[in-house]
Amino acid sequence: MEVIKYTFPPHGDDRGQLVAIEAGKDLPFEVKRVYYIYDTLAGVRRGFHAHRNLQQILVCVSGSCRIHLDDGHETAEVLLDKPTEGLYIANDMWREMYDFSEGAVLLVLASEYYDEADYIRNYDAFLQMIREKESQ
């Protein structure tokens, strides 16, 4: 599986670092929604779903966490530990987030508004959808 990461160069000086991400310039989609996950404890695993029609960029802006990706054939484990690095996740990709460090903040830039109907929360249903798409 190809893991796609984006790099967002920091504008640093002796006051600290600043990262700017501009919609329409630095990302492969228009951003309609931003959310962030924090206060997730080390032993907690979350996600456990895929999306039918959603692209996202995940940036661990503070601390670190790991992302488990599964396209129905291959899996990948991705460490996010840099506020300058974004993981691109396309539709039809099962994801789980885990190994959150203390104080980790996971920022997500999303291509669509929140829609519960877009979630596939059952892993067998996810695999079935992948197989059906491949047989078309």
Q: Summarize as ranges the residues that interact with ligand T46 (CB under 6 A).
A: 33, 35, 37, 46-47, 56, 95, 97, 108, 114
Q: Whole-number minimum distance, CB 132 to ligand T46, in Å?
A: 22
Catalytic residue among 49, 51, 68, 73: 49
For the chain, the helix, strand and coil percentages under 3-state DSSP, each to the nearest 5? 10, 40, 45
- Cβ closest to ligand T46, residue 46 vs residue 66: 46
Chain residue whose CB lies nearest ligand T46? 114
Residue 49 annotated to the active site:
yes
Q: Whole-number minimum distance, CB 39 to ligand T46, in Å?
A: 12
Q: Write the DSSP string, 9-45.
A: -B--BTTB--B---TTTTSSS---EEEEEE---TT--
- Cβ closest to ligand T46, residue 10 vs residue 92: 92
d(Cα 67, Cα 58) in Å, to the nearest integer?
Answer: 9
Burial of 1 (0-12, 13-18, 19+ CB in 10 A): exposed
Q: Whole-number minimum distance, CB 126 to ligand T46, in Å?
A: 13
- Cβ closest to ligand T46, residue 20 vs residue 35: 35
Which residues are part of the catalytic machinery? 49
